[in-house]
Every structure is written in structure tokens, then in C-alpha cells.
Amino acid sequence: MSKATADQERCKGCGLCIAYCKKNALEMSSHINSRGYKSIRVLPDNCIGCGICYTVCPDGVFTIAAE
């Protein structure tokens, strides 16, 4: 099964992916990336690899690939 992975360095913490994810598979982590943004984390147990986060993300954070 495919899962989303997040490149936290590209994330700006806008939270759009969290809002559009139907599976509660994303949460804002406390990790501050090198550009100073809070960044997103994937909860793999909930992720079904649908790609909605990839679609709505303005910053190319997500990759959906086979595990």
C-alpha cells in the first residue's frame, strides 16, 4: 500500500493538508525546520495514500509512494 511522506524542509506550516485530509493522517509537529516554519508530520497508520495532501499542498511537501 502507498503512503504519504513529508519533506519537512519544504513545509511552511499552512495546515491546508490537515484540513483536506479525510483520514486524520496528518498533524502539525513541533519540529521547526531550517527556514523557521513549523512542519507537518504524516501519521502512517491512518494514511491510505490517496494523494489529497499532495494535491492541495502549495509547497510540494508530499510524495506518495509504495511502501
Partner 1 sequence: MAVEKRVPALCNYAMFCAGCGHGVLLRLICECLEELGQEKNTIAAIGVGCSCHLKSGINVDLVQCPHGRAGAVATGIRRAEPDKCVFTYQGDGDAYNIGIAETLNAAYRNENLCVFVVNNNNFGMTGGQMSWTTMEGQKTATSPAGRDIALTGAPIKVPEMIAHSFRPAYVARGAVTTPAEINRLKGYIKNAFQAQLNHEGYSMVEVLSTCPTNWGMEPLAAHQHLMEHVVPYYQLGEFKKRGE
Smallest gap from Cβ 2 to partner 1, in A, equals 3
CA distance 1 to 37: 30
Smallest gap from Cβ 59 to partner 1, in A, equals 5
CA distance 14 to 1: 27
Rg (CA), the chain: 11
> What residues line the site for partner 1 (CB under 8 A)?
1-2, 9-10, 12-16, 19-20, 37, 48-52, 54-60, 62-66
Residue among 29 and 59 whose Cβ is closer to partner 1: 59
